C-alpha cells in the first residue's frame, strides 16, 4: 500500500479548508488498516486518522500521513426479545446508520438524526442531541492500537464516557483507531421527546402516534431550521460545548441575568453556550469570510475563502468576550489541527 503525496483535504473536512496532507491513504477493512500501519509513512509519524471531518478545523497543512477510515458495513448480531445488537463499520456515515435503524424500527438513535460525521467519531466524543447520548445505546467497540499494531475491544465502562468526552479524547488520545462499533438498540422503542422543541415540532407536524420515524423527522426539521448545511456553507456544527457551572455560580448568574438559559445537570447547571455567545453580540457577525451563523450563535462558518486560523482567532475572541461578560469559560468542541 503506497500513500499518495501532497493530497488536498478540502473535500474531507466540513469547514472546506483548503489544506493538504503530506501523505494520504484510505483503509477499507482491518487488513488494509494493518497493512497501512506497516508502511514507512505511518511509522515515521503519528498519523492523523480522519473520519467524516465534521468535528475538525484545519489551521495549517498536515505534515504527515492522513489515514481515511472507510471501514463500512452494518451487521445484525442478533439479540433477544427486547434488544438487537448492530455491528457497524466506523467509516459508515452516522446519519445513514440512523436511517437504517429507523427503517427497521430499532429505537435509541432517532434523537441523534442528522448529526454529521462517521460512526467511528461517535464514541470518541460521545455525541449527543435532544436528551440522548451515544453512551445510551453503546455496547462495545473494536479499535486498533497504533503503536502495538493489534486490535482490542472496549466495553462501555472502559470508554469513560462524559459530556462530549471519552477515553479516546484524553488518556488514549491518538493511540487507537476505532474500526467497528456495536450498538444495543430497542426492538420496542422508548421515546424521549421532552428535550428542546421536539414536542412542539411533533405537534406542528400533526403527529398523534409516536414512532421512531416521527421523532427522527422532527429532529431533522429542527436541525435544518437552525443549523447550516455544510454542503452549502462550511461549518462543523456546534463549535463550543455547553459549559457546566456549580449551583452557587448559577445562582449568581441568574440574579444578574434572569433570562439565562440553563438545564439541570446533576447538582450543577449546564448553560446554553449559544445564548451566552448571542448575548455578547456575536450572532450573525462576519469578518471577511469567517463568521458566526445568523440563526445559531454556536456555529462558526466559512463563507468560502476563510483560513482556518481566521476561524480559530474568531473563536478566541468569542471565548474572551463570554468570560469577560459572564465569568464563564467556554471550551471548544471542535478539534483544532
Q: What is the pLDDT of residues 28-56, one digit of tens each?
A: 999 999 999 999 999 998 899 999 999 99
Q: Residue 195: is its pLDDT beyond 90?
A: no
Name the grid cell of 192: 424521549
Please state the rounded mean pLDDT for residues 7-13: 97
pLDDT for position 46 = 86
- How deeply is 247 buried, as exposed, middle or buried, from its count of CB atoms within 10 A (0-12, 13-18, 19+)? exposed
Name the grid cell of 9: 483535504
Q: pLDDT class for 240, splitting at 50, 70, 90?
A: very high
pLDDT for position 98 = 98
Coil, helix or strand at residue 172: coil
Q: Rounded distance, CA 74 to CA 82, Å?
A: 19
Global pTM exceeds 0.75:
yes
Domain architecture of the chain: domains with CATH: 4-69 (3.30.43.10), 74-186 (3.30.465.10), 234-336 (3.90.78.10)
Q: Single out the residue of 226, 229, 234 nearest to residue 289, CA to CA.
A: 234
Q: How many CB atoms lie under 10 A from the CB of residue 175?
A: 15
Q: pLDDT class for 2, splitting at 50, 70, 90?
A: confident
- How deeply is 157 buried, as exposed, middle or buried, from its count of CB atoms within 10 A (0-12, 13-18, 19+)? exposed
Q: Rounded distance, CA 174 to CA 46, Å?
A: 8
Residues tagged active-site? 164, 238, 333
Give the pLDDT confidence of 125-177 residue by residue, as tens digits: 999 999 999 999 999 999 999 989 999 999 999 999 998 899 999 899 989 99
CA distances from 70 to 73, 91, 112 (A): 10, 4, 21
Q: Residue 261: is its pLDDT beyond 90?
A: yes
Q: Residue 1: is its pLDDT beyond 80?
A: no
DSSP calls for 17-79: ---EEEEEEEE-SHHHHHHHHTSHHHHTS-PEEESS--SEE--S-EEEEEEEE----EEEEEE
Amino acid at each position: 500500500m503506497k500513500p499518495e503525496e501532497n493530497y488536498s483535504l478540502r473535500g474531507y473536512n466540513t469547514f472546506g479548508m483548503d489544506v493538504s496532507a503530506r501523505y494520504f491513504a484510505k483503509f477499507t477493512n482491518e487488513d488494509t488498516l494493518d497493512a497501512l500501519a506497516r508502511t514507512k509513512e505511518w511509522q515515521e509519524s503519528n498519523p492523523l486518522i480522519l473520519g467524516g471531518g465534521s468535528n475538525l478545523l484545519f489551521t495549517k497543512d498536515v505534515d504527515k500521513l492522513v489515514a481515511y477510515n472507510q471501514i463500512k458495513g452494518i451487521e445484525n448480531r442478533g439479540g433477544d426479545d427486547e434488544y438487537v445488537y448492530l455491528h457497524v463499520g466506523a467509516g459508515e456515515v452516522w446519519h445513514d446508520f440512523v436511517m437504517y435503524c429507523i427503517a427497521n424500527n430499532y429505537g435509541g438513535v432517532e434523537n441523534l438524526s442528522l448529526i454529521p460525521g462517521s460512526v467511528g467519531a461517535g464514541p470518541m466524543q460521545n455525541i449527543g442531541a435532544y436528551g440522548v447520548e451515544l453512551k445510551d445505546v453503546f455496547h462495545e467497540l473494536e479499535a486498533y492500537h497504533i503503536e502495538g499494531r493489534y486490535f482490542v475491544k472496549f466495553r462501555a465502562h472502559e470508554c469513560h464516557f462524559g459530556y462530549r468526552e471519552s477515553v479516546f479524547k484524553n488518556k488514549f488520545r491518538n493511540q487507537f483507531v476505532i474500526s467497528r462499533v456495536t450498538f444495543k438498540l430497542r426492538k420496542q422503542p422508548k421515546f424521549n421527546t421532552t428535550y428542546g422543541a421536539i414536542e412542539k415540532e411533533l405537534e406542528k407536524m400533526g403527529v398523534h402516534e409516536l414512532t421512531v420515524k416521527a421523532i427522527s423527522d422532527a429532529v431533522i426539521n429542527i436541525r435544518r431550521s437552525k443549523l447550516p448545511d455544510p454542503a452549502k456553507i462550511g461549518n462543523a456544527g456546534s463549535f463550543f460545548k455547553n459549559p457546566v457551572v456549580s449551583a452557587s455560580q448559577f445562582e449568581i448568574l441568574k440574579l444578574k441575568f434572569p433570562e439565562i438559559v440553563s438545564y439541570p445537570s446533576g447538582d450543577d447547571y449546564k448553560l446554553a453556550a449559544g445564548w451566552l455567545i448571542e448575548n455578547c453580540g456575536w450572532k450573525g457577525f462576519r469578518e471577511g469570510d469567517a463568521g458566526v451563523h445568523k440563526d445559531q450563535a454556536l456555529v462558526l462558518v466559512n463563507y468560502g475563502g476563510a483560513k482556518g486560523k481566521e476561524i480559530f482567532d474568531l473563536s478566541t475572541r468569542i471565548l474572551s468576550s463570554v468570560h469577560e461578560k459572564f465569568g464563564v469559560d467556554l471550551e471548544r468542541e471542535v478539534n483544532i489541527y
